[in-house]
Amino acid sequence: MAADDLYELFRNGMRLLEQHDFHAAAVPLARVRDAEPDKTSIREALGRALFDSHRYREAVAEFEAVVERAPTNDYALFCLGRCLQQLGRHDEARKPLALACCLRPERADYRLYRDRARARAA
């Protein structure tokens, strides 16, 4: 697929994501991800669409791929932790949420979900 076509697919996916049409956004974003699997921006956007579509297992894979390539991406770590929480895997969620908090200690939402994961894992 040509670079221009991929860019248009990505733009379409982002537009749908911004319009909160999460199921529809996942379709073009997945196609772009398949063509460019190493692009963290694409995988993060797809992860967001999947999370908001309640497709948490699939979203975990996308955010894990982002964190593998960009281990200091606080947002991807936070989203990975939130996906794990939604799957009831609170013990596993603790590490990415704690790392996100360390990277961005000013984020109250990160601390809130980190503390919830700690409490539910105990």
Would you tell me how many other CB atoms lie within 10 Å of the CB of residue 25?
25
Confidence of residue 12 (pLDDT cuts 50, 70, 90): very high
pLDDT score at 32 = 98
Record the tokens describing residue 119, joined without a space.
């409490």
Residue 99 has pLDDT above 90, yes or no: yes
State pTM to two decimals: 0.94
Model pLDDT for residues 28-41, shown as the tens digit of each residue: 999 999 999 999 99
- If you ran DSSP here, which 8-state letter would residue 70 be given? -
pLDDT score at 57 = 98
- 3-class DSSP state for residue 121? helix
Task: Give the integer Cα–Cα distance in Å for 64 and 89.
Answer: 15
DSSP-derived secondary structure for 1-47: --HHHHHHHHHHHHHHHHTT-HHHHHHHHHHHHHH-TT-HHHHHHHH
pLDDT score at 117 = 96
pLDDT score at 122 = 81
Residue 76 has pLDDT above 90, yes or no: yes
